[in-house]
Structure 1
Amino acid sequence: MSTERKTPRLDRKRVADTALGLLNEVGLEGLTLRAIARELDVKAPALYWHFKDKQALLDEMATEMMRRMTADYVAHYASHPPPDDWREALAASMRGLREHLLRYRDGAKVYSGTHFTDTSYAAPMEQRLRPLMAAGFTPAQAARAGHIAYSYTIGYVIEEQAMGPDPRSGEEGYDLAARADRLAEYPLAAEAGWEIFQDHDRGFEEGLAAVIAGIEATMRGSGG
């Protein structure tokens, strides 16, 4: 009887899972098909049976991230009913999105601008739109409101991850004292750095509150 271990079958999910794991080590710039193939112990051309180029792989990686988010949402809402208030529901959805993106180095960059390869995004989107519709938003307003909050969150996390600690160099992000010295002639810009580049959790929450307040002020009053 053979004691040889069978190599797991190479498929799109296995490649995407491996790529997401490698992403945390090398970042988006270092994530190449050659590096992924080496991690899988296969030749790079083997990956082209599944992905025509790196962008196709990024699409699958983003989709796998969404699948994991969806699984978490389903598990969470099975025991915790979603908030009835549309503001709380939208805020909770965006917090969940940010939390998942932060699990991956350059996660927001990978996630943004990609095309999902299945419909795993539909359940969270439906969950996000329902409270808006129940609050009186029209379908168009609900879609736009959700997209505005989503775009804010993606953009915030892209900047947050770009400004945060760099695992490759060990640097802890911006040297704010050195930045203030460089901007000594521009006191307002210098002072702004202490607010912008610290306490990302508070910054996200304050920005999200402003976005939701803006949605309420401009959309619900225009037929919502």
Structure 2
Amino acid sequence: MARTPPALLDRDRLLAAAFAQLEEDGLDGLSMRRLAARVGVQAPALYWHFSDKAELLGLMAREIYNAAHAAVPQVEDWQTWLGQFGRALRRSFAARRDGARLCAAASPAPSGDPARHAETIAAPLVALGLDATRALSCQAVVISFTLGWESFEANGPMREFLRQMMDFDATFETGLDALVRGLG
């Protein structure tokens, strides 16, 4: 019986397959060999699309961050934007198994000119009145808090213990609001 050749590979298809693999096996189970098997090729075929696993992880992390940026609604001031971004980022991390862990471990994906990339990241806050340096700094603070919070919350045994004592959602909101107000 003749085998049907696999569909043409492209980065989008491979990223989708990598996220499916992440969902099934977690970050520790995500490998180039398993990803290749999932899409019906040998592992070396993946290296036409990614220089190594670090680049793949960086692109996956970028997708998680981009989803959060895209989910922030139009707002009138930069502090409201930061709060909405923190909430969207938390949802984006939680939407993917090991999402926060992946983002904490990933190397940045190649993005061309770093200054241009920084401009793109800062743009929403610059449009709301911050200078680019302050915009990047404020986002870094919110990202760090949210990444740490989601990593803490994703720790199964500790999460279950702490859920008996606190409401994770309310506590996150308290921390995020205090952080954003403090940046003002």
Q: Does TM, normalized by the shorter one, top 0.5?
A: yes
Aligned to 1:35: 34
More displaced stretch, 23-32 vs 145-154:
145-154
For the aligned residues, what is the CA RMSD? 2.8
Query: How far apart in 2 are the matches of 1:193 and 1:160?
Result: 9
What amino acid maps onto 1:206 in structure 2?
T
Aligned to 1:25: 24
Query: How far apart in 1 are the matches of 2:126 and 2:92?
Result: 20
Match status 1:107 vs 2:99: yes
Aligned to 1:46: 45
Normalising by the residue count of structure 2, what TM-score does the alignment of the two structures yield? 0.80
What amino acid maps onto 1:36 in structure 2?
L
Aligned to 1:159: 152
Aligned to 1:140: 133
Query: How far apart in 1 are the matches of 2:118 and 2:67?
Result: 10
CA 1:62–1:120 in 2, change beyond 3 Å: closer, same or farther? farther
| 1:96-139 deviations in Å (ceiling 9; x for gaps) | 11111111001012123431334788655411343252xxxx54
Normalising by the residue count of structure 1, what TM-score does the alignment of the two structures yield? 0.67
Q: Tell me if structure 2 keeps the 8 A contact 1:94–1:153.
A: yes
What amino acid maps onto 1:103 in structure 2?
A
1:1-224 map, 5 Å = 7-70=6-69, 72-73=70-71, 77=73, 82-112=74-104, 113-118=106-111, 123=120, 125-133=122-130, 138-161=131-154, 163-164=155-156, 174=159, 176=161, 194-195=164-165, 198-216=166-184
Q: Tell me if structure 2 keeps the 8 A contact 1:83–1:89.
A: yes
CA 1:93–1:129 in 2, change beyond 3 Å: closer, same or farther? farther
Q: Which is greater in Rg?
A: 1
SS of the equivalent of 1:131 reads coil
Query: How far apart in 2 are the matches of 1:175 and 1:6?
Result: 46
Aligned residue pair count: 177
Aligned to 1:185: none
Q: Tell me if structure 2 keeps the 8 A contact 1:84–1:131.
A: yes
Query: How far apart in 2 are the matches of 1:19 and 1:122?
Result: 29
Q: Tell me if structure 1 keeps the 8 A contact 2:21–2:35.
A: yes
SS of the equivalent of 1:117 reads coil
Query: How far apart in 2 are the matches of 1:121 and 1:18?
Result: 29
CA 1:157–1:104 in 2, change beyond 3 Å: closer, same or farther? same
Shift of 1:212: 1.3
What amino acid maps onto 1:131 in structure 2?
L
Query: How far apart in 1 are the matches of 2:68 and 2:52?
Result: 25
SS of the equivalent of 2:175 reads helix
Structure 1, gaps ≥5 residues long: 165-171, 177-191, 217-224
Shift of 1:90: 1.1
Shift of 1:58: 0.3
Query: How far apart in 2 are the matches of 1:98 and 1:157?
Result: 7
CA 1:83–1:111 in 2, change beyond 3 Å: closer, same or farther? same
